[in-house]
Structure 1
Amino acid sequence: MTSRRKFIQLSALGTSLLSSPQLLAGQVQQHKPIVLSTWNFGMAANVAAWKILSAGGRALDAVEAGAKVPEADPTEVTVGYGGLPDRDGHVTLDACIMDELGNCGSVICLEHVVHAVSVARAVMEKTPHVILAGEGALQFALANGFKKKNLLTPESEKAWKEWKKKSEYKPVINIENHDTIGIIALDANGNLSGACTTSGMAFKMHGRVGDSPIIGAGLYVDNEVGAATATGVGEEVVRIVGCHLVVELMRQGNSPEQACKLAVERILKKNPAKAKDVQVGFLALNKNGEYGAYCLQKGFTFARHDNSGNKLFDAKSNF
C-alpha cells in the first residue's frame, strides 16, 4: 500500500514530467529553426544556412555558411571577392560574427582573404580579442591557414577606373550603399547567432569603416531576447548603435518589426534632411522565431527560410 508521503511524491513527479518542456511525448522541445538574410542575395545565403539548421545544426555554423556564399560570388560587388574597391583601388573587407553566449569576433579593413566572416570567427575562437584590423588581421588570417587571393576582379577594376574619371562620390540608394549581407538565425535548440560581412561602400576613402564589423552597430545577438542586423549607410547606424538599440527595444516588448521601425525613426529624427538621401534598414528576429524589418527608403528586401520554404520580402519603409 502506497503511503500518503509516497503518493504526494509520485504525484509531484508526474506533474513535473507532464509540464516539463523537455519531456513532451518523450521528446526534447522542438523550436522552429529560421534564418533571415538581407537583400536578394540572402536567398542563396539562406539555402546554405538552412542545410545546417534543418539537420539540427548550430545557428553559429549556419550564419557563417550562409555569409560565405556572397563572399565567394564575384558578381556580388558589395561583398567579398569582386567587391568594388575603395578610391585607391583596394578591396577591403569588414565582417563580424556573434554567438548565443555573447562571444564575438570581428575583422576590419582585411585585404586578400575571401572569407572575412570565417576570419572573424577565428578571432572570436582563437584570440582573447574581439577585433583585429588591417595588416594585423591579414597576418592572423594567413597564420591560421587562410589563403591569399587578389580580390579585385577585372569587372570591379574596370568600374573603379571608370569612376576615377570624375571621382564623384555619390552612392546610389539601394545599389552602391547597401553594401552588406547580414544574417541572423534561430536553431532547433532555441539558440541565436548572427553574422555580417561587406566590402563596404564603393570608392570609399581608404580605411573607411562602417557599421558592419562593429558589434552593437551592424550586428547584435542577445540569446534571451533576439538578434538584429543592419544594412545601408553605416555611419548612420553607428551613430545610434543601431542593432543593440533594436534588441533592447525588443526586450522592452516591441515586436521585431516595431523595434526596427523605432530605430529607423531615431535616425530620421537626428537628421531628417540627410535621411532622405540615404538608405538604412534593420532586420530582427526574436527568441520566439518572430521576425520583421524596416527601412528608410523603399527598396530594401530580405529573405526568410524556415520549414515553409525560402521567400523574399519587401521591407516596410518611411519613404
Structure 2
Amino acid sequence: MTIAMIGTWRMAETGITPAMAELRAGGSARDALVTAIKAVEDYPYYQSVGYGGLPNAAGVVETDAAYMDGDTFRLGAIAGARDIANPIAVAQALSQEPANNLLVGTGATEYASTRGFELKNMLTERAGQKWEQKRQELASKNLNPYDGHDTVGMVALDAQSRMTVGTSTSGLFMKRTGRVGDSPLPGAGYYVDSTIGVATATGMGEDLMKASLSYETVRLMGTGLSASEALRQAVYPFIDRLTKIGQHPREFSYVALRQDGDWGIATNVEFTFAVAQDDGATQIYIAQPNGDQPDIQLLGRAMDQMRVQALRQIKDKHSQVYKALKPNWKIYHKADPDAKTKHYRFGINESLTDQELIDIGITPFPNLHNAYETYIDIHDALLNSQTERLSNLIKTYRSCGEPMDIAIATLRKNLKGVLNASQTRLSNGPLEGINRKIKALKRSCYGFANQERMFERIYQLIA
C-alpha cells in the first residue's frame, strides 16, 4: 500500500499534514485533496491563495481553482471568481455536473451561492494595505506591477490507488481585472490519470499555458518513465525552445507523482514543495535550478526549522527582526545573496540588500546565525564540488541547534558516501542519495534515469 501527497510551495504543508491523517485512516484522495487545499485557502497570511490573497489592479481578489479526478477524468474549475471562501470546494462540485464544468466571474459566484457554499469578502486588511502601498509606488515609480503568483497545486494518491489533483490561486498581484492563468486549465495547470500518475504546475501562467506540459508529463510516465525523467523530457526542452525564439521564459515549476509512489519535480527557479508518503512526516524540500536536473536539498529544511524556532521567540510580530525572518524566508536559501543592490522591503519599509536583510534576521540569534553560515558554506562547497572543504565543514561543525545537528550527524555518519556523491550528477541532487533510504530507492528508482544508474549510485554510497 502506498499513499502520498505532494504540494507546491512551503505553504502546502499546512494542508498536507491534516489531509494525510485522512488518507492514513482510509480516506479517499478525493476528500483529502479538498481538505488540504481548503486549509491553505483559509490561512489569511498566504498572499497568493484564498482568503488573504493579494488583489487585482482594482483592489479586488479574484480566484482561480480546479479539481480533477483521475479515475473518471471528471474535472471542474472556476476562473476570475469573487467572494468564494473556498474555490477548491466549488471546483470539486462542478466536476460532478454533466455540463458547465468551468465557470468564470459572476457565473462562478452565482453557482456557489445557489449551492450553499460560503461567500465572503476575500480581501483582508493586510492584503488591502499591501495593495495601497503598491498602488502608490506604481504612481510614483516605474516598477513592474506583477508579482506574488504562487499557485498551490496538490496531488494525492490513496490506498485504493485513486489519484486526484487540484489547484487554487489568487493569481498575479495587481493583475488586470479578469486575467486568468494556467491554474484552471486542464493539461497545462494540471492533469491526472489514476492508472499512470499526476502532475501540476506553478509559476507564470502566461508562459505555462503555452504548452500542456502537465498532460505531457503524465503521458510520458505512462511509457514507463520515472516522474523525474518524464518531467525532464517534457519541461526543459520547451523552456529551451522559448529561449531560442526570444520569449525569455519566466517561472516554470512542476511536481509529479506516479501511481507507484515515485515522485519528481522540475523547475527553472528556486522552488519549495512539500511531500508526505505512507507513515512518514511531511517533508519540505527546496529545489535549486541546475539545468535539467534540479538540486533538492534536505539540509535546507534544517535551516528553515532553525528560522521557525527563532520566530517563535519573537513577541513583537511587527518588529523588524520578525519581518526580516517571516515574509522574506526565501532569501535565507539563496546560494549567493546580493550584498550590493538594494530593494524596498515591505513590512520593514526600507531599501535593503539581501545580505542586510539577512543580517537583521540572524544577528539576534547566535544559533540561527551559525546554522545559516553552516548552510551557506556547505551549499557552496557542494555546488563547486569542493570535496576537501566539504569534508572539513562536516567534521569541524559545532552544535548550533537540534535540526542542524541532526542533519550534520547524518552527513558525518555517511561521510564517505557524501563526498562521493558530491562529485557526481547522476541524480536530482548531490545529497539526495544519502538522505533517502536505499529501500525507497529500490522501490521507486526516484531521481534516476534508469535502474542501472540507481545501482551505480548505491555502489558509490557504500564503496
Query: Is the pair's TM-score, using the shorter chain for normalization, greater than 0.5?
Result: yes
Larger RCO (CA within 8 A; separation ≥ 6): 1
Inter-partner Cα distance in structure 2 for 1:247 and 1:316 = 23
Residue 158 of structure 1 deviates from its aligned partner by: 0.9
Aligned partners of 2:33, 2:289: CA distance in 1, in Å?
A: 26
Match of residue 196, structure 1, among 162, 167, 172: 167
Secondary structure (helix, strand or coil) at the match of 2:209 reads helix
Query: Which of residues 209, 221, 237 is equivalent to 2:192?
Result: 221
- Map residues 273-292 of structure 1 onto 2, 5 A cutoff: 278-292=250-264
What residue number does 2:285 align with? 313
Residue of structure 2 in register with 1:80 after alignment: 50
How is 1:148-297 mapped onto 2 (pairs within 5 angstroms)? 148-167=119-138, 168-171=143-146, 176-177=148-149, 179-272=150-243, 278-297=250-269
Question: Equivalents in 1 of 2:105, 2:192: separation in Å?
Answer: 25
Query: How far apart, CA to CA, are the structure 2 residues paired with 1:90 and 1:53?
Result: 36
Structure number with higher helix proportion: 2
CA distance in 2, matches of 1:252, 1:77: 38
1:108 has 2:83 as partner: no
Q: Measured at CA, do residues 63 and 51 of structure 1 come closer, stay the same or move farther in structure 2, by a change above 3 Å?
A: same
| Identity value in percent | 32
Tell me, which stretches of 5 or more residues in structure 2 are unaligned? Answer: 292-463
Q: How far apart are 1:48 and its partner, in Å?
A: 2.1
Secondary structure of the equivalent of 2:96? helix
Number of equivalenced pairs: 284
| 1:147 Cα deviation after fit | 2.2
The letter for the 1-side match of 2:265 is A
SS in 2 for 1:301: strand
| CA–CA distance in structure 1, aligned partners of residues 89 and 96 of structure 2 | 10
Counterpart secondary structure, 2:192: strand
Q: Give the unaligned 5+ runs of structure 1.
A: 1-30
Matched, 1:36 2:6: yes
How far, CA to CA, are the matches of 1:218 and 1:244 in structure 2? 9
Residue 18 of structure 2 is matched in structure 1 by 48
Preserved contact between residue 261 and residue 295 of structure 1 (Cα < 8 Å): no
Q: CA deviation at 1:122?
A: 1.1
Alpha-carbon distance between aligned partners in 1 of 2:276 and 2:247, rounded to the nearest angstrom: 31
Q: Which amino acid aligns with 1:46?
A: I
State the 1:182 CA deviation: 0.5
State how far apart, in whole Å, the 2-side matches of 1:93 and 1:102 are. Answer: 23
Aligned counterpart for 1:68 among listed residues 14, 23, 38: 38
* Letter in structure 2 aligned against 1:282: Y
Between the aligned partners of 1:84 and 1:150, the Cα distance in structure 2 is 12
Name which of structure 1's ranges 273-282 and 181-190 shifts more when overlaid on structure 2.
273-282
Report the CA distance shift for 1:284/1:39 in structure 2 as closer, same or farther (over 3 A): same
| C-alpha RMSD of the superposition | 1.6
Equivalent-residue separation in structure 2 for 1:94 and 1:282 (angstroms): 18
* Alpha-carbon distance, 1:261 to partner: 2.3
Decide which structure has greater strand share: 1
The separation in 1 between residues aligned to 2:10 and 2:34, in whole angstroms, is: 18
Matched AA of 1:87: A
Shift of 1:275: 7.1
Provide the C-alpha distance between the structure 2 equivalents of 1:255 and 1:276, rounded to a whole number of angstroms: 28
Q: In 1, Cα distance between the equivalents of 2:92 and 2:234?
A: 27
Alpha-carbon offset, residue 208 of structure 1: 0.7
SS of 1:35's equivalent? Answer: strand
SS at match of 1:271: helix
The TM-score, its normalising length taken from structure 1, stands at: 0.85
Supply the AA of the counterpart residue of 2:259: K
Contact 1:64 1:117 in 2 (8 A): yes
Inter-partner Cα distance in structure 1 for 2:4 and 2:166: 14
Q: Is the 8 A contact 2:84 2:117 kept in 1?
A: yes
Aligned to 2:105: 134
Deviation at 1:251, TM superposition (A): 1.5
CA-CA distance at 1:85 after TM superposition? 0.4
Question: Within 2, Cα distance between the matches of 1:49 and 1:304?
Answer: 12
Q: Give the superposition deviation at 1:270.
A: 2.6
- The 2-side partners of 1:73 and 1:253 are apart by 38
Which 4+ stretches in 1 moved above 4 angstroms? 273-277
